[in-house]
Every structure is written in C-alpha cells, then in structure tokens.
Amino acid sequence: MPQYSESASCFYNSFTSMRLFSANNTKKVKEMIKKIVTIMLSVLALISAIQTVTATSITTASLDKAAYLAGQTGYISVTIYNDKSEKIRVTELSATLNYYYADGTIYIQKFFTSVSLPNEIAAGQSENYQIPISLPTNVAGGYTNPRIEAYTEIWRSQDDHWTGSDQPSYTNLKLYIETPYKQALEEEKAANDNLTNTMNLLSITTLIFAAASGFLLYLAFARRAKPAGQM
C-alpha cells in the first residue's frame, strides 16, 4: 500500500507540474502574439505614412467660369504633381459630374482630358491639363461637385518597364449652374438692351437727318430770298 501511495503522489505531482508548465507557455505565447501584432501594425502604419508622403497628387483644379448656364461649354484646369523619385505617366484623367435634369432625374456624366495620353511627368515636376465639359440644355440649376480622378503609372528603372501607381482624386471643386429663370431673365434683358440701343441709334440718326434736312432747306430758302441785283 505505501508503494502505491507514493506512486500516485508522484503521478499527481508530475501532472500538476505539466499543467503549470502548459499554462505558463500559453501565457507566454499570447504575450508573444500581442507583441508581433503590435510590431506588424507599427510597420504597416509606417509604410502607409511613407506612401502618403511620396504620392502623386492633384494639387489644384479650377473652372473657367464662375457660373454656367444650361447648354454651355467650358473646361476644368487640373494640375498633377509627381512626388516620386522616378518619372510617372498619366494614363487617364477625367471629371465626373452628378446633377439633376429639370424634371428631377439624376444624371451622371464623365468627361475626359483633351490632352493626348499617356503623358509623362518628370520626378518632382507638375503638369497642367484641361478637361472640356458640356452641360445639358435641360439641366437644373444649383451646385454640383465634380470629382477629378487620374490614373498613373511609374517607371521601374530596375527592369525598364511601366507599372501601375497612384490614383489621385480631387473633390474640393464646386460648379454652379444658374437657374433657367435667371437665364431667361438675362436673355430678356439682353434683348431689351439691344432694342434700346437700336432705338437710341435710330433716334440719333433721325435727329441728324432732320438737322441736315433743315440746314439744306435753310440754304435753299436763303438763296431764293436774295434780291435779283445781288445774284
């Protein structure tokens, strides 16, 4: 009996030690995993920060008019800056406009640059582009925010070929479309101004003609009124 008791006690102590060892190992593994995850997140954040600092960007975008009328044409001027250490090329540049028709229908229209693409931009340099736009004749008045987007490729000097790069965008632009009522009012005002100018010109012409006619009549009358001896 004492031998069995000692064996059981020894087995129990061994089993307890194994459980404690396993629990300690599990705790250490969990701590190690936490450390690895923290390091990976830090590395990803650093990579993201580096990519943000060295990224192709659309620095400015502007419209050629302060306001547009339905059916008018114009263009958007866009500047793209290459913040890379290698040259890039722009493969696509567009402006997407969301607006309403006069009947309330939502319409999306996409316009592309007039520049022949692809177009290269040297490292550290900027390039200017224009995107022609044309508004529908029945577009509703109000504001819309054009979304400017570009697709670029970067030159890989190590193996001499182009590869996909940044896709910068720009949304801080507002395009104002005047209401049809204002357009009609301006057209009516322009017509009235033309009519007024025409009437003024006609009045001046009439006065000049009347003055000239009066002067000629005066000369004719003065010539007839002179005595025969003075002829």
| pLDDT tens string 156-184 | 999 999 999 999 999 999 999 987 655 55
In the chain, where the domains are located: 1-53, 57-178, 183-217
Q: pLDDT tens digits, residue range 109-139?
A: 999 999 999 999 999 999 999 999 999 988 8
d(CA 149, CA 146): 10
Structure-model confidence comparison of residues 101 and 172, the more confident one: 172
Per-residue tokens: 181: 């009522």
Average pLDDT along the chain = 80
186 forms beta bridges with none
For tokens 């101004």, what's the residue? 193
Residue owning tokens 């006609």: 202
**The CATH number of domain 57-178, selected from 2.60.40.10, 2.170.150.70, 3.30.70.100, 3.40.50.720:** 2.60.40.10
Q: Model's pTM, two decimal places? A: 0.58
